[in-house]
C-alpha cells in the first residue's frame, strides 16, 4: 500500500492561487496602460491654434534703419598768424554766420609791417625816378658820343634793379596787409560754436596745432545710415529717377518725424556686414536733429500693389527655408514652403507659395505636425486644454476623479499653453 507524501495535496491549490494572482495583475496593468494612453493634439484631440487669413492689398513699403546725425560741415578754427588774443567776440554754444568776427589777434606788429613796406616802396620809387631821368639823359648823350657806353649800361642796370626792388616791396606790403586781415579771425561757415578752447590773453603761433573753437553746421544737416545690400538695386533705381524721401524719428521728442531726401550712396558694400551706407540731408528748420544723436530712419519705397500679406509671427523657419502651416477645409494642417519679401509693420509680404484667403496658423505652431487636426480659437477664448485642466479640479480647488495626483493630461507641465 502506497502512502501519500505529506503536503502533496496542497500544491495544486497553491499553483492555482498564483496563476489567478498573475492574471489579476495583468488585467490591472492593461487597464492602467489604457487609461494612461495620451490624448490630445498628438492623439485623437484637435490642437488649439490661432489663425489668420492671407490678405491682398497695396502695401506701403519702408526700409527701417538706425541712423546717426552728422553736421553738414565741421570747421576747427585756427589762427594763420601768431600773437596774443586781445579780443574774444563769441561764447560757448553761440550761433554764428559766415563772416562774423570770432577773435582778434594783436594787430600792431602787422600794421607796422605795412608801414615799413610802404616806406621801402616810396624810397625805391624815388631812386627809380632819378635812375630813369639819368638813363634818358645818357641815351641822348650816347647818340652824340658824349658819354661812355659803360656808364650808360650801368645806369640802365640800376633802373631795372630798382624796378625789381619795388615789385618785391609791393609783394611784402600785400603780405603784411593779408597778415593784418588774418589777425581778425572770422567764421568761415554758418553754424554753432562749441566750447571755446582758447580765450582772451592766450598767445598763439601761426598755424598752431591747437584749435580755438569748433563750428558745426546744423542747417541743413546729414543723417547717415546703412541698409542691407539686397535693397541696393531698388534704391539706386529710385535715386537715378528723382528724389527719394527719407524720414527721421527722434526718440523722446514729440511731433511728426523730420522729412528729408537721400543725398548720397556709398561707393562700395561693406563686405563684413553686407550693408550699404547711405546719407540723407534734412533742412532741420526746428533744430531738432543734433550731431552725434541716433535716430530711427525710414526710407520710403514705392508701394507694392496687390501684395499678399500674413502676420509675421505665422512665418516659421526650417532647414529648407521659411514655411507656414496652412489650414485646410477639413481643419487639418499642411506644411507649405513660401518665399518671403519685406516686412511691413507686423506683416510679411509673401512673394510666392500662398494665395489670398488661405488660412495660416499664427499661434500654436509648436504643437503641430503635417496632417494634424486643429481647432481654431476665437480671439479671447480660453484654450480647450486649459478648460480640461481646470475641469480636473473641484470648485474648492480639490481634485476630481480622473485627475490623480493633480497631473495634467498628456504629461504636460502645469500652465503649458499655446506657443
DSSP letters of 215-284? EE--SSEEEEEEEEGGGHHHHHHHHHHS--EEEEE-TT--SSPEEEEEEEE-SS-BTTTTEEEEEEEE--
Q: Which pTM value belongs to this model?
A: 0.61
Helix 108-144 to helix 149-182 angle (10° resolution) is 160
Q: What is the pLDDT of residue 275?
A: 93
Residuewise pLDDT in 10s, the chain (419 residues): 444 445 444 555 566 566 666 666 665 555 555 444 444 444 558 899 999 999 999 888 888 899 999 999 999 999 999 999 999 999 999 999 999 999 999 999 999 999 999 999 999 899 888 888 888 887 877 777 777 778 778 888 888 898 899 999 999 999 999 999 999 999 999 999 999 999 999 999 998 889 999 999 999 999 999 998 988 998 999 999 888 999 999 988 888 899 999 999 999 999 999 999 999 999 999 899 999 999 999 998 888 888 999 999 999 998 889 999 999 999 999 999 999 887 787 889 999 999 999 999 999 988 889 999 999 987 655 554 444 444 444 444 444 433 334 333 333 333 333 33
Q: What is the pLDDT of residue 11?
A: 55
Candidates 380, 366, 374; CA nearest to 417 is 366
Candidates 385, 323, 318; CA nearest to 360 is 323
Looking at the DSSP assignment, which residues form a beta bridge with residue 334? 326
If residue 386 lies in a helix (H) or strand (E), which one and from where to where? helix 384-391
If residue 140 lies in a helix (H) or strand (E), which one and from where to where? helix 108-144
Q: What is the pLDDT of residue 382?
A: 57
Candidates 222, 194, 203, 218; CA nearest to 77 is 194
**Is the CA virtual torsion 286, 291, 292, 295 positive or negative?**
positive
List domains and CATH numbers for the chain. 47-60+306-392 (2.40.420.20), 63-72+217-304 (2.40.30.170), 107-182 (1.10.287.470)
- Alpha-carbon span 336 to 353, nearest angstrom: 7
Q: What is the pLDDT of residue 20?
A: 66
Q: What is the pLDDT of residue 407?
A: 39
> C-alpha dihedral over 383, 386, 387, 389, to 10 degrees?
160
**In Å, how far from its chain's centre is CA 226?**
6
- Alpha-carbon span 110 to 346, nearest angstrom: 69
Residue 134 CB-half CA count within 13 A: 17
On whether the CB atoms of residues 51 and 378 are closer than 8 A, the answer is no
Amino acid at each position: 500500500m502506497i502512502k501519500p507524501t505529506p503536503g502533496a495535496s496542497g500544491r495544486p491549490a497553491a499553483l492555482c492561487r498564483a496563476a489567478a494572482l498573475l492574471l489579476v495583475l495583468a488585467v490591472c496593468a492593461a487597464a492602467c496602460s489604457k487609461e494612461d494612453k495620451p490624448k490630445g493634439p498628438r492623439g485623437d484631440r484637435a490642437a488649439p491654434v490661432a489663425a489668420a487669413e492671407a490678405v491682398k492689398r497695396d502695401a506701403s513699403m519702408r526700409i527701417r534703419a538706425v541712423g546717426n546725425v552728422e553736421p553738414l560741415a565741421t570747421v576747427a578754427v585756427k589762427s594763420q598768424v601768431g600773437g596774443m588774443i586781445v579780443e574774444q567776440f563769441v561764447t560757448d554754444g553761440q550761433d554764428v554766420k559766415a563772416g562774423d568776427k570770432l577773435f582778434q589777434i594783436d594787430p600792431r606788429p602787422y600794421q607796422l609791417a605795412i608801414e615799413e613796406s610802404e616806406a621801402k616802396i616810396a624810397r625805391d620809387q624815388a631812386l627809380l625816378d632819378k635812375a630813369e631821368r639819368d638813363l634818358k639823359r645818357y641815351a641822348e648823350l650816347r647818340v652824340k658820343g658824349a658819354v661812355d657806353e659803360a656808364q650808360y649800361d650801368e645806369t640802365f642796370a640800376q633802373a631795372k634793379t630798382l624796378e625789381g626792388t619795388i615789385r618785391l616791396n609791393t609783394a611784402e606790403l600785400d603780405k603784411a596787409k593779408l597778415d593784418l586781415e588774418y589777425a581778425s579771425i572770422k567764421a568761415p561757415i554758418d553754424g554753432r560754436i562749441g566750447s571755446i578752447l582758447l580765450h582772451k590773453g592766450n598767445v598763439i603761433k601761426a598755424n598752431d596745432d591747437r584749435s580755438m573753437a569748433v563750428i558745426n553746421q546744423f542747417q541743413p544737416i546729414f543723417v547717415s545710415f546703412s541698409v542691407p545690400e539686397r535693397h541696393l538695386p531698388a534704391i539706386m533705381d529710385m535715386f537715378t529717377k528723382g528724389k527719394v524721401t527719407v524720414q527721421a524719428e527722434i526718440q523722446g521728442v514729440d511731433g511728426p518725424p523730420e522729412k528729408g531726401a537721400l543725398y548720397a550712396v556709398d561707393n562700395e558694400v561693406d563686405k563684413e556686414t553686407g550693408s550699404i551706407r547711405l546719407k540723407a540731408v534734412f533742412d532741420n528748420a526746428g533744430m531738432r536733429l543734433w550731431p552725434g544723436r541716433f535716430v530711427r530712419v525710414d526710407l520710403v519705397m514705392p508701394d507694392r500693389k496687390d501684395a499678399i500679406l500674413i502676420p509675421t509671427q505665422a512665418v516659421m523657419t526650417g532647414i529648407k527655408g521659411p514655411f507656414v502651416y496652412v489650414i485646410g477645409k477639413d481643419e487639418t494642417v499642411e506644411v507649405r514652403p513660401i518665399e518671403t519679401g519685406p516686412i511691413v509693420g507686423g506683416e510679411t509680404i509673401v512673394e510666392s507659395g500662398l494665395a489670398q484667403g488661405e488660412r495660416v496658423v499664427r499661434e500654436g505652431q509648436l504643437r503641430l505636425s503635417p496632417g494634424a487636426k486643429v481647432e481654431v480659437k476665437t480671439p479671447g477664448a480660453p484654450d480647450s486644454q486649459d478648460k480640461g485642466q481646470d475641469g480636473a479640479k473641484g470648485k474648492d480647488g480639490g481634485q476630481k476623479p480622473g485627475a490623480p495626483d493633480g497631473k495634467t493630461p498628456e504629461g504636460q507641465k502645469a500652465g503649458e499653453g499655446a506657443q
